[in-house]
């Protein structure tokens, strides 16, 4: 079982993830239409580029935009969630040992204690995100079962990983579940709302270009996000 999930299944899910994400990005760019979107993308590339970079950078920065500053509590939860979600698996020692063994390279690593803290922070943030969905009428009205499912898909590798790492219960069981849930997340990214992993950059860049080229970017300093 372990050989299967870390072997063919891992290859398959990584392939689906990488190809899927690339396809989504390519389709997005191909689907842009200067006349329908009413943005002269190709005519003013430098204004477009400036607008796009500005729009992405400001929103990647915690409290970098008025929107983020308006909701300080949510913003904190949001960044804790997303930073942990990406940093933990990429810089985890165990993952990097695997990388080194199989592919001969690895990233810098974080200590196990840091990984634990990030994992717990992520799970706590996930709980807050769920509570927020239930508590706030303006979020409740938007929420569907699908939002919870997507959140569960994102949180599952962390719960199972934590149990496996600390050998709570049956190590082998949690390990396999951890690998499976990680693979599920990878596969889900191109096909679900999790595609915002890549499409965030596309959509932000597009709106940034819209403001940079058309909505005043050529007549002012550009949109103050």
Please say which residue, 160 or 206, places its beta carbon nearer to another protein.
206
Out of 4, 11, 66, 72, the residue judged to bind another protein by CB under 8 A: 66
Site for another protein contains 13 (CB under 8 A): no
Report if residue 220 touches another protein, rule: CB under 8 A. yes
Least distance from another protein to the Cβ atom of residue 187, Å? 17
144 near another protein, rule: CB under 8 A: yes
Q: How far is the CB of 29 from another protein (least distance, A)?
A: 8
| Residue labelled with tokens 């934590």 | 162
Site string for another protein, 146-185 (x = CB under 8 A): -x--------------------------------------
CB of 213 to another protein, least distance (A): 7
The 3-class SS string of 70-123 reads HCHHHHHHHHHHHHHHHHHHHHEHHHHHHHHHHHCCCCCCECHHHHHHHHHHHH
Residue among 65 and 106 whose Cβ is closer to another protein: 65
Is 73 a binding residue for another protein by CB under 8 A? The answer is no
Residue closer to another protein, measured from CB, 97 or 127: 127
Q: What is the DSSP string of the chain?
A: -HHHHHTHHHHHHHHHHHHHHHHHHHHHHHH--HHHHT--TTTTHHHHHHHHHHHHHHHHSTT-SHHHHHSHHHHHHHHHHHHHHHHHHHHBHHHHHHHHHHHS-----B-HHHHHHHHHHHHHHHHHHHHHHHH-HHHHTT--HHHHHHHHHHHHHHHHHHHHHTT-S-HHHHHHHHHHHHHHHHHHHHHSGGGHHHHHHHHHHHHHHIIIIISSTTTSS----
Of 5, 20, 44, 95, which lies in the binding site for another protein, with binding defined by CB under 8 A? 44
Only segment of 90-98, 99-107, 169-177, 197-205 that touches another protein (CB under 8 A): 197-205
From the CB of 23, what's the least distance to another protein, in Å? 12
The only residue of 9, 10, 28, 62 in contact with another protein, by rule CB under 8 A:
28
Burial-class residue 25 by CB neighbours within 10 Å (0-12, 13-18, 19+). Answer: middle
Tell me which residues touch another protein (CB under 8 A).
27-40, 43-44, 55, 59, 66-68, 70-71, 74, 78, 133, 136-144, 147, 193, 195-196, 199-200, 202-208, 210, 213-220, 222-225
């Amino acid at each position: 079982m372990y050989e299967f999930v870390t072997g063919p299944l891992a290859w398959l899910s990584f392939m689906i993830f990488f190809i899927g994400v690339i396809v989504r990005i390519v389709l997005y760019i191909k689907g842009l239409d200067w006349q329908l979107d009413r943005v002269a993308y190709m005519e003013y590339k430098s204004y477009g580029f400036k607008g796009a970079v500005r729009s992405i950078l400001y929103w990647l920065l915690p409290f970098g935009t008025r929107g983020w500053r308006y909701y300080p509590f949510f913003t904190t939860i949001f960044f804790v969630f997303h930073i942990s979600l990406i940093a933990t698996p990429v810089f985890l020692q165990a993952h990097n040992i695997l990388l080194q063994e199989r592919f001969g390279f690895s990233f810098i690593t974080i200590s196990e204690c840091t990984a634990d803290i990030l994992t717990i922070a992520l799970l706590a943030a996930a709980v807050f995100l769920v509570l927020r969905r239930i508590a706030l009428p303006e979020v409740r009205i938007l929420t569907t079962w699908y939002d919870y499912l997507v959140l569960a898909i994102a949180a599952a590798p962390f719960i199972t990983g934590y149990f496996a790492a600390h050998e709570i219960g049956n190590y082998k069981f949690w390990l396999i579940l951890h690998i499976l849930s990680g693979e599920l997340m990878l596969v889900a990214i191109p096909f679900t709302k999790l595609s915002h992993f890549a499409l965030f950059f596309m959509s932000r860049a597009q709106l940034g270009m819209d403001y940079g080229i058309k909505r005043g970017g050529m007549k002012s300093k550009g949109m103050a996000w």
